[in-house]
Structure 1
Amino acid sequence: MTVEATFASPRSGGPPVGVQTSFDELGTPLREVTFCVVDLETTGGNPDSAGITEIGAVKVRGGEVLGEFQTLVNPGAAIPPFIAVLTGITDAMVASAPTVNEVLPTFLEFARGCVLVAHNAPFDVGFLRAAADAAGYRWPSFNVIDTARLARRVLTRDDAPNCKLATLAAYFKSPTTPTHRALADARATVDVLHGLLERLGSLGVHTLEELSTFSSRVSPAQRRKRHLADKLPHAPGIYLFTDDRGRVLYVGKSKDLRTRVRSYFTASETRSRMGEMLNLAADVIGIECATPLEAEVRELRLIAAHKPRYNRRSRFPERASWLKVTVEPFPRLSLVRDVKADGATYLGPFGSRRVAEQAIAALHEAFPIRQCTQRLSRSPGRGSACVLAEMGRCVAPCVGTVDVAAYAVHVEAVRRAITTDPSPVIEAITRRIRVLAEQQRYEEAIVHRDRMAAFVRSAARTQRLAALARCPEVVAARRLPDGGWEAHVIRYGRLAGAGVVPPGSPARAGIAVITASAETVEPPPPPRPAATAEETERILAWLEQPGVRLVELSGEWSCPVAGAESRIAWLDTAYDWREGHVDDSRGLRPGQSPLRP
């Protein structure tokens, strides 16, 4: 499905020489990272009520100290006696010291371009950010490493009884003893950081990205499998974990296959079921994709094909159901597994039977069509009407009270509500909700609200899918940041082709190559697309992105003006019931609408 359209262009000199870095060089190596280890002394624990009395910082890279920063700070208020005893910093010492507003620009310049490190980082960084906000300074987007949190993940109780700075400084044999003075504590934190990095290096953590996302849940046995990522490209695509019998365990997608797969063995993976999967994994298969959309679609298709036990979503698209307006003299609503080319009207697909039944209930609320399941001839026999007929909720064709032509009027109204305009359903249920709310029957009102929401959302989904599914071909492209184009060919709602036109190449010619090599797709019975609903929805999300341009369009791609999609925003905001109809004690939040799902 992937085609990369490449065209020769005149150029001088030889081709650029690419350098392939080693596996361990992916990401930012820790030896090249400049860390700014910072510590603060304050008058209390809350930046809203306490101030900074001292800032100390040490800048290090590759194990070498590049510089130090230390200053007392006038907190603008008296230092509590117990703080003065703890830190040794008195009011007299800070009386002539600069304020934090005067110190902060100098510190931010000292730390510029660094990764901030602190022991219990939320405390120190929280005070610094609060000071910056109060002074009107923009806080830089620092990466932050918390040595206390890191120590909890790396060390056991056998190593150290706790993760206090003094304990860890002694454990790693720091020549500096923490004394609750900022510079001394920052120096001790530097030694703790280096000790932790040495431990992490033996666990396969060599880059800043791996350090930032390190998790102790990845076992040593799993880390030893990180070589499985060696053969994967440094490119976007799909990866499949397989066991020793070749069975697919898990399918995922990534913009960088090698880095993402390696992270399972060294860093950020914390899901317990993934740990179980990694223990079983014997190999990883990578599939390069031309575009992110192609990767999303391939992932969905592979999950549906292999049904991996460790994927939780998208495994059983065939289990979706559709609501069908049957084709018979007196049609009714029926839940079916598939769409057929029988001229019937369909609503769906539904991933949940409960939601499908809510949508059916909403239609029965608005239209008096029959709910019985027996087959009726054009001239049904006369008998006794059911309770729904006695309640006026069914026109009772089973007892001959209505002929085929009169009944067809109600059926046509159902079809219009599904395909064109849901207003009759919304109006009927809104009236019902209003009556229930006036009677303070809020639980029943919520049931009807959920039925209406299920119908409107499913109708909007059906109309969106059907609009694209009836187009024989849509070719669209989006300009890439480097000047090239990513292009997709969609046929009957299915991704049939994807590719990239490199920068400097003729866009039209490149897209023509991608189109010519696209998959042939047979038209499906409407309104079903020639793909799963989830795939078509991913395609629609891409088509609706800013900057996407339609190159070719066969057929008509349109949704009804008064369709269900136009009611989604209303559904989210309407009926706040501020007129006293909603009692908060009934479980509704203040201002929440009974119509709001």
Structure 2
Amino acid sequence: MSTTQESGPAQGTRWESQRSFDELGRPLRDITFTVVDLETTGGSPEIGSMITEIGAVKVRGGEVLGEFQTLVNPHTAIPPFIAVLTGISNTMVADAPPVESALPAFLEFAAGTVLVAHNAPFDVGFLRHFTELQGQPWPRFEVLDTARLARRVITRDDAPNCKLSSLARVFRSQTTPNHRALSDARATVDVLHGLMERLGGLGVHTLEELQTFSGRVTTAQRRKRHLAEDLPHAPGVYLFRDDDDRVLYVGTSRDLRTRVRTYFTASETRSRMGEMVGIASRVEAIECSTALEAQVRELRLIAQHKPRYNRRSRFPEKMHFLKLTREPWPRLSMVTKVLDDDADYLGPFGSRKAAEKSLAALHDTFPVRQCSDRFGRVPSRAPCVLAELGRCLAPCDGSVDATTYGSVVRLLRDTLLRRPDEVVDAINVRMTQLAESERFEEAGVHRDRLAAFVRAAARTQRLTALAGCAEIVAARRDDDSRGRWEVHVVRHGRLVAAGVIPPGADAHQYVAELRLSAETVTAPGPGPVPVASAEESEKVLRWLESPGVRLVEVEGEWSCPVAGATRHLAVHDAVATSRTSLVPFAERRSLSPVAQPAR
């Protein structure tokens, strides 16, 4: 037997005193919750446990809108201890509807609401399992767990634990939990309301703040929530400043006010951010037309102000390159600047360590000299240890002629600029040999060197291609702006203009005016360095390569080598992902793309 009752909201609700909530995110008073509880034959549907009862209460603004209750025939015997615990016997469920009928009825009752349960993974896990078992997609419910929330709010002084029965006593629930679905759901409603009322005094007034609430946010942080009051609900960049107007932190968001508010109310629990908020005296917002513009502005502002609480992108000027020198006997050299000396460069690298790994990969493949001495065309010196080991052609003692050495250098130059296969093949062979000898740690060193080189070569080729284009104008329909078109103008790798075409505007005229108002930039200098920072240009590249982008205008040639390093990235990205995923240790030792031998 199932019952469903619906009613409209009553006058004089228990939340009437909270009508002054700030309209940030989705106010809790406007959210419809379906509080659900299940009774089952066991602890997991994966081991054959079945649902025996579903009870739910629909509430909004503190008022009950309706209730749902049904027994469910599990088509299996209910264990005696479950029958004693819940009071539900085999006789009671004999004429009840099966889960194939009861579950769709509940999903219809709960449609469009936020699901709430005490120990939600249990109840939602059963509901989701049987929904998928019936061949139906699971509705994308937002879920709130009162047990999890209570553990962040309730102290030992309030209750010995966060069981439903204990919390029902703390919040003086009108219903005593008795392991029957509807009664437990009603008690959970009172617990939910009690938690909301307690958190309301801490500045938690929206669903987003409730979902992310943490007791680690201090009272001092919450007192500064007024700093977000004047910020717009718009995409852009925000800057925290101290009493001396120094920039402490720079961030970006699609909704400035909502994001900044979290630093004072709920989800921001990083200790450094708590320290930063304690120092901050105001927050400045810069609205942006598009998300890409906001990301680029963030990078530029971090580079300009170098805020102490930003950990990344503070020093884009600190770059490393590998240089293939122009001299009678060329060599590879690590440098920090690109000169107009007609040399070939690989980079920029994000760190010296990555540059060193790439350099080692190249030296493992090409036996060019590694000494920094200046040689004439006919050197006459004693060979070094590398020559004796066969790792250097040793032009120093005349062991190699200029023609042979030059052919190796030409192959090295081609590897840097166009085709990395020489390095990839050589190191893969070396990795295979080491893996077959079960020298996995050494093979891992070569794997990391190869990955560093492939990423650097791909980065160099992509940035060089973008920097060579005097102008690229591209557009993409943005779902977040009601299907309007966002347009970006890029010159020599630098974002110089961004905008969203207004509804009803002439697209061609808008783009033309955007180009005219765009920032003027000079051509880039030598090497693979765009006018902007490498990180900015890579963000621009990712947007240009994203689905749905249409090229409006390209001035110059935007292309990468067909056999370039980019085609090898997928393998190394997959390896990096597998190494950080939760897999058994033996699997993490896999040195793909070279597999370990069967044993």
Per the normalisation by structure 1, the TM-score is 0.90
Aligned in 2, Cα 1:247/1:335: closer, same or farther, shift over 3 Å? same
Q: How does 1:335-484 map to 2 (within 5 A)?
A: 335-380=334-379, 382-404=380-402, 406-481=404-479, 482=482, 484=484
Aligned in 2, Cα 1:169/1:543: closer, same or farther, shift over 3 Å? same
Aligned to 2:518: 518
Take 1:480 and 1:340, find their aligned partners in 2: how far apart are those partners? Answer: 41
Aligned in 2, Cα 1:303/1:438: closer, same or farther, shift over 3 Å? same
Higher relative contact order (CA 8 A, sep 6+): 1
SS at match of 1:475: strand
Q: Figure out how many residues of one structure are paired with residues of the other and give that number.
A: 566
Aligned in 2, Cα 1:449/1:29: closer, same or farther, shift over 3 Å? closer
Aligned to 2:507: 507
Take 1:571 and 1:40, find their aligned partners in 2: how far apart are those partners? Answer: 46
Contact 2:432–2:594 (Cα < 8 Å) also in 1: no
Aligned to 2:180: 181
- 1:230 to partner: Cα distance: 1.4
Q: How does 1:20-35 map to 2 (within 5 A)?
A: 24-35=22-33
Aligned in 2, Cα 1:437/1:150: closer, same or farther, shift over 3 Å? closer
SS at match of 2:22: helix
Take 1:392 and 1:417, find their aligned partners in 2: how far apart are those partners? Answer: 21
SS at match of 2:444: helix
Mind listing any 5+ residue stretches in structure 2 that lack a counterpart?
Answer: 1-18, 576-583
Contact 1:321–1:348 (Cα < 8 Å) also in 2: yes
2:385 maps to amino acid: V
Aligned in 2, Cα 1:268/1:513: closer, same or farther, shift over 3 Å? same
SS at match of 1:318: coil
Aligned to 2:280: 281
Aligned in 2, Cα 1:572/1:502: closer, same or farther, shift over 3 Å? closer
Aligned to 2:559: 558
2:544 maps to amino acid: L
Take 2:492 and 2:309, find their aligned partners in 1: how far apart are those partners? Answer: 31
Contact 1:178–1:188 (Cα < 8 Å) also in 2: yes
Aligned to 1:317: 316
Coordinate RMSD, CA, aligned: 2.2
- 1:354 to partner: Cα distance: 2.2
Take 1:266 and 1:572, find their aligned partners in 2: how far apart are those partners? Answer: 37
Q: Does 1:77 align with 2:76?
A: yes
1:342-383 Cα deviation digits (max 9, x unpaired): 111100111222221121122112222110111222332x23
Contact 2:52–2:73 (Cα < 8 Å) also in 1: yes
Take 1:483 and 1:97, find their aligned partners in 2: how far apart are those partners? Answer: 48
2:42 maps to amino acid: G
- Greater displacement, 152-161 / 114-123: 152-161
Aligned in 2, Cα 1:261/1:473: closer, same or farther, shift over 3 Å? same
Contact 1:229–1:261 (Cα < 8 Å) also in 2: yes
Aligned to 2:498: 498
Take 1:461 and 1:104, find their aligned partners in 2: how far apart are those partners? Answer: 52
Aligned to 1:489: 489
Aligned in 2, Cα 1:438/1:175: closer, same or farther, shift over 3 Å? closer
Aligned to 2:98: 99
2:151 maps to amino acid: R
Take 2:43 and 2:402, find their aligned partners in 1: how far apart are those partners? Answer: 78
Aligned to 1:38: 36
Aligned to 1:300: 299
Take 1:439 and 1:36, find their aligned partners in 2: how far apart are those partners? Answer: 60
Take 1:588 and 1:34, find their aligned partners in 2: how far apart are those partners? Answer: 45
- 1:591 to partner: Cα distance: 8.3
Contact 2:440–2:589 (Cα < 8 Å) also in 1: no
Mind listing any 5+ residue stretches in structure 1 that lack a counterpart?
Answer: 1-20, 575-583
Take 1:427 and 1:123, find their aligned partners in 2: how far apart are those partners? Answer: 51
Contact 2:21–2:27 (Cα < 8 Å) also in 1: no
Take 2:531 and 2:538, find their aligned partners in 1: how far apart are those partners? Answer: 12
2:505 maps to amino acid: S
Aligned to 1:527: 528
Q: Does 1:536 align with 2:534?
A: no
Take 1:164 and 1:444, find their aligned partners in 2: how far apart are those partners? Answer: 52
- Greater displacement, 436-445 / 132-141: 436-445
Contact 1:442–1:594 (Cα < 8 Å) also in 2: no
Contact 1:42–1:52 (Cα < 8 Å) also in 2: yes
SS at match of 1:317: coil
Take 1:22 and 1:235, find their aligned partners in 2: how far apart are those partners? Answer: 22
Aligned to 1:546: 547
Take 1:589 and 1:525, find their aligned partners in 2: how far apart are those partners? Answer: 41
Take 1:431 and 1:139, find their aligned partners in 2: how far apart are those partners? Answer: 48
Take 2:79 and 2:215, find their aligned partners in 1: how far apart are those partners? Answer: 40
- 1:104 to partner: Cα distance: 0.9
2:112 maps to amino acid: G
- 1:428 to partner: Cα distance: 2.5
Aligned in 2, Cα 1:177/1:573: closer, same or farther, shift over 3 Å? closer
